[in-house]
Structure 1
Amino acid sequence: MGDSPKASGSRLPSPFSPPSEPRIRKRRGSSKSSGAYGSDESYSSRPKLGRYGGDHVSNWNTSQLESFGIFYDVKATELSELYKSALEKMYSWAVGNTAFLTKLLQIKEVLIESTKKCMHSLDVDEDFEMENLRLPGIIEETKKCMQTMAKIKEEMSLKFGSAASSDNLSRDLYSIWFTGISEYVQYYSDLIKELNSEGRGGVEGQFSQLLTFFSKIFLMNPTRGDASQKVQMTLNGIETTSVPDLRYRMQGDLSVGNIASLVTVSVGEVKTCLPVAYGEKTTTDFNITKWKFRNQSVERLLGQHGGELLVETKKSVIADTNLGIICVKTMIIFTHLDWEKGHLVCLKYGTKVDDKRSNIHYSKPYNFLVRKEREEILDTMFNLGLLCRVRSLLTYQE
């Protein structure tokens, strides 16, 4: 799934074959112990790093981030506005062929409706507590979901299974979507059964994996962060490193050499901490800096994620900005770092940033297990997926 659908011919191999059962992976070592400093050591006690530096953004907090002139908004932004610039970028790539863009948007609408049909049987109540991620009757509910997918698979096979079919774009995107949702349902049901049998809550690595499979439904190909994939940026003469939990990468020829696998659409950070008032309904008046967690500092979470958005900007497909996702168990917050002109130059060379200010915009939280909240983000998720793939999909215009 990491390659362009067209790279191996006009079809994906075995487009409707069932996926193999995914293996539940344990989380890598906690980032709290990474770098040369303990996780609770204050930034001011690191004189060797200077005022603007840090060896790894996992050590950052919001105070550190604000010393760079980067601030989180005081309230959430409407989701339709949050990624508007990213969508404009996607449209600009495809604007040379209006029919092609129209086709992409038509496919997106069909995939949204198909996703709704498949996911209904696995919904949880809006007041569902995520302490242990347990659901009664998960085997029966999974069967219902599989039956719905089987019907959709049959419909797709009848429509696009013919070798003579000329609609390669639709067939290949539906194939990627079908594989993604099948893997997600399998992993989700296996995870709940495992947690039920062991009588414990999930660990961070399992929720990272769950978000990985959920993202693949939307045509994305997320990769897990590790030390071999770290990104560095020089800040005030100090090499600062970022290794987010997930990277969502642009695929296809970007006409800038062979760097497509390094260019990010967004970065994701996953946590298992629970908000103090988990069941409290959130609106666009939601202020992320006021969020209260059990056994977790929101200042550390936001500082780390803001640092990732900053450092990974050098690999962002959108100039002078970066997109992100914060995931707390199964709650997603979309983020968007928006640069003021010249700010990044000041940070790289240690120039004073007193007159420079850039902002991190964000959405309210959405629980992707709850139908109403999940359906509110389907359009955004598919837009991100198309942004990831639009460069590789341009070959279908030829």
Structure 2
Amino acid sequence: MESCVKPESRNIVGTCRRKRKLKDEEQGESSSMAESSSMDEECEITGTQSKEDSTKRKSFLRSSLSKEWVSTSTTEEDNEDSDKSYSSKWQCVDLENINIFYCDEPQPLEELMKTVKEDVLKKYPDTPDFGETVRKFTKLTKENLLVSLDLDYYRKYRPQPKSGKVWIENFLLMDIKSNIEKAKEADRDLDRDLFGRKWLSAVEMFLLKTALLVKRILYPHEDEESIKEAKEVIHVKRKTRKKPGKDKKLYERCEPAETLYQKLFVTFGQLFFLDDSEVDKRTFVAGNKIVNSTPDLAYCTSARVLEPGTESLQKTMLIVFEVKVKQTKIVTSNHLEELVDSGVLGQVGSELFAEVFYSFVAPNSLGIMCMETKLIFVYLKTEEEHIISILDCKIPFKTEGKIHFTKPFDMLKAEDRAEVSEFLYWLGCFQNEHRQNTFRTT
């Protein structure tokens, strides 16, 4: 997940450096003491002028607490190397300053699903009723995909001899093989329609990726990519550590590469007939900030490339953000701030905001926050008037946006998969229906 804000403000230090260069050219080999004194005066004068200019340039951002106009941007050097701009992460305060807030409590998934469906049907009133298909495959998944895993259970077996790990692994593989056989039996009774042809292969691929993930956890030092990432972490900590300490052993440092979790989610989405699309970088200007946003995964409706006009371009249904586990917290309540830090919430909010211009339910946008195998659904709900006010710097804002979120669900646990199946199957049906309509000529 990439999301940053590039400030466009002037740096006083940069101005002083230009002054220093001109001074050197004019005075040549003048006294260093005199030069230093002269420079201090010029920097002081320039700093005062810059502060006055900064005061005149009021930011469009409004603090939700003090109701004063504030600017949260950092500075970038305006010197010979001005192309090397500095960037700052989008924080929760940046969302609050444009009147976008997270809800106080998690929303039941059924309620969030109902809200999204209502918004979709307002935009696409001709959407068919997928109820029968959704119920059929939700039931199939509940009855046949029964594997439930706790990754921490396998992590504690890392220090064991290989024979012990193989013994534990055998139990997992027996469960996976049993689930595949059950799915094959159920597949014999399926119609060979679009979804019937996809379901069994999707189940098999998800289970195989799950087995691969457990192997990487049990034998992390045998995976080259995991070793590389672990060594990089150790190297950084050794360079930045202030106090000496004992390093953990390599097998304790090694974790499956982040790409493996992303690939697992792709196969998880395919269970529900969802196909990921090419990820696009979004860039927009909000007041005095340039916001760049790139989600980790995107699920889109098909582009109507056979029709003229920009309205035929594909729309984003769902975006996925990978959140590193080290950014999560110990859960003590239902507040989202107890799960992830403020920086993550700010970045997720900016990703959702950046996507509203391309969303299939604009001006709202739907996403999933992914922490290893745990999922949190997030839904930004706002009004077009509010989006326009932000871009046009029309303050004070008369409206606000709300980011709804659910409790975490684990895609490796059967009970959690059962809860999310209905919503994800409905989205999968919508994506495939839209794809079929794309190529209809009559």
Q: Quick check: TM above 0.5?
A: yes
Task: Give the match's secondary structure for 1:83.
Answer: helix
Which amino acid letter does the alignment assign opposite residue 336 of structure 2?
I
CA distance in 2, matches of 1:118, 1:256: 45
Q: What is the CA-CA distance between 1:321 and the residue it aligns to?
A: 0.6
Which amino acid letter does the alignment assign opposite residue 139 of structure 1?
L
Q: What residue is the counterpart of 1:345 in the other structure? A: 388
Can you list the C-alpha shifts for 1:338-362, whole angstroms capped at 9, x where unaligned?
1135111111122224443211011
Q: Is the 8 A contact 1:76 1:364 kept in 2?
A: yes
Q: What residue is the counterpart of 1:123 in the other structure? A: 148
Q: Is the 8 A contact 1:340 1:358 kept in 2?
A: yes
Q: What residue is the counterpart of 1:21 in the other structure? A: none
Q: What residue is the counterpart of 1:186 in the other structure? A: 208
Q: What residue is the counterpart of 2:264 in the other structure? A: 210
Given the alignment of the two structures, is residue 60 of structure 1 paired with residue 85 of structure 2, yes or no?
A: no
Q: What is the CA-CA distance between 1:249 and the residue it aligns to?
A: 0.8
Worse overlay, 253-262 or 234-243: 253-262
1:150 to 179, 184, 199: 184
Do the aligned partners of residues 95 and 223 (structure 1) sit closer, same or farther apart at CA in structure 2, a change above 3 Å counting?
closer
CA distance in 2, matches of 1:331, 1:197: 22
Task: Give the match's secondary structure for 1:247.
Answer: strand
Which amino acid letter does the alignment assign opposite residue 263 of structure 1?
K
CA distance in 2, matches of 1:192, 1:35: 37
Q: What is the CA-CA distance between 1:93 and the residue it aligns to?
A: 7.3
Q: What is the CA-CA distance between 1:85 and the residue it aligns to?
A: 3.6
Do the aligned partners of residues 394 and 31 (structure 1) sit closer, same or farther apart at CA in structure 2, a change above 3 Å counting?
closer
Do the aligned partners of residues 56 and 48 (structure 1) sit closer, same or farther apart at CA in structure 2, a change above 3 Å counting?
closer
Q: Higher relative CO (CA 8 A, sep ≥ 6), structure 1 or 2?
A: 1
Which amino acid letter does the alignment assign opposite residue 69 of structure 1?
N
Residue ranges of structure 2 left out of the alignment (5+ in a row): 8-70, 79-84, 159-164, 221-250
Q: What is the CA-CA distance between 1:48 and the residue it aligns to?
A: 8.4
Q: Is the 8 A contact 1:123 1:371 kept in 2?
A: yes
Q: State the superposition RMSD in angstroms.
A: 3.5
Residue ranges of structure 1 left out of the alignment (5+ in a row): 1-29, 50-54, 161-170
Which amino acid letter does the alignment assign opposite residue 108 of structure 2?
E
Q: What is the CA-CA distance between 1:314 and the residue it aligns to?
A: 0.7
Q: Percent identity?
A: 19
CA distance in 2, matches of 1:115, 1:342: 41
Q: What residue is the counterpart of 2:239 in the other structure? A: none
Q: What is the CA-CA distance between 1:81 and the residue it aligns to?
A: 1.6
Q: What residue is the counterpart of 2:134 in the other structure? A: 108
Q: What is the CA-CA distance between 1:46 and the residue it aligns to?
A: 3.1
Can you list the C-alpha shifts for 1:16-75, whole angstroms capped at 9, x where unaligned?
xxxxxxxxxxxxxx848x7879xxxx95423789xxxxx999821111121121110111
2:103 to 58, 73, 87: 73
TM-score relative to the length of structure 2:
0.65
Q: Is the 8 A contact 2:379 2:403 kept in 1?
A: yes
Q: What is the CA-CA distance between 1:237 and the residue it aligns to?
A: 6.0
Given the alignment of the two structures, is residue 277 of structure 1 paired with residue 359 of structure 2, yes or no?
A: no
Which amino acid letter does the alignment assign opposite residue 285 of structure 2?
T
CA distance in 1, matches of 2:200, 2:392: 47
Do the aligned partners of residues 316 and 219 (structure 1) sit closer, same or farther apart at CA in structure 2, a change above 3 Å counting?
same
Q: What residue is the counterpart of 1:380 in the other structure? A: 423
Higher helix share: 2
- Number of aligned residue pairs: give it: 328
Q: What residue is the counterpart of 1:251 in the other structure? A: 302
Worse overlay, 299-308 or 202-211: 202-211
**Structure with max Cα Rg:** 2
Which amino acid letter does the alignment assign opposite residue 299 of structure 2?
Y
Worse overlay, 339-348 or 258-267: 258-267
Q: What is the CA-CA distance between 1:388 and the residue it aligns to?
A: 2.3
CA distance in 2, matches of 1:304, 1:180: 31
CA distance in 2, matches of 1:175, 1:252: 24
Q: What residue is the counterpart of 2:230 in the other structure? A: none
Do the aligned partners of residues 79 and 56 (structure 1) sit closer, same or farther apart at CA in structure 2, a change above 3 Å counting?
farther
1:304 to 335, 338, 347: 347
Do the aligned partners of residues 276 and 311 (structure 1) sit closer, same or farther apart at CA in structure 2, a change above 3 Å counting?
closer
Which amino acid letter does the alignment assign opposite residue 243 of structure 1?
T
Q: What residue is the counterpart of 1:319 in the other structure? A: 362
Q: Is the 8 A contact 1:93 1:391 kept in 2?
A: no
Can you list the C-alpha shifts for 1:115-166, whole angstroms capped at 9, x where unaligned?
123320x2126x966868989332222211221222133333xx43xxxxxx
Given the alignment of the two structures, is residue 371 of structure 1 paired with residue 418 of structure 2, yes or no?
A: no
1:196 to 189, 196, 218: 218
Task: Give the match's secondary structure for 1:114.
Answer: helix
Q: What is the CA-CA distance between 1:248 and the residue it aligns to?
A: 1.3
CA distance in 1, matches of 2:310, 2:367: 24
Task: Give the match's secondary structure for 1:194.
Answer: helix
CA distance in 2, matches of 1:131, 1:383: 35
Q: What residue is the counterpart of 2:378 in the other structure? A: 335
Task: Give the match's secondary structure for 1:45.
Answer: coil
Q: Is the 8 A contact 1:62 1:302 kept in 2?
A: yes
CA distance in 2, matches of 1:77, 1:182: 32
Worse overlay, 78-87 or 327-336: 78-87
TM-score relative to the length of structure 1:
0.71
Q: What is the CA-CA distance between 1:238 and the residue it aligns to?
A: 4.6
2:320 to 243, 268, 286: 268
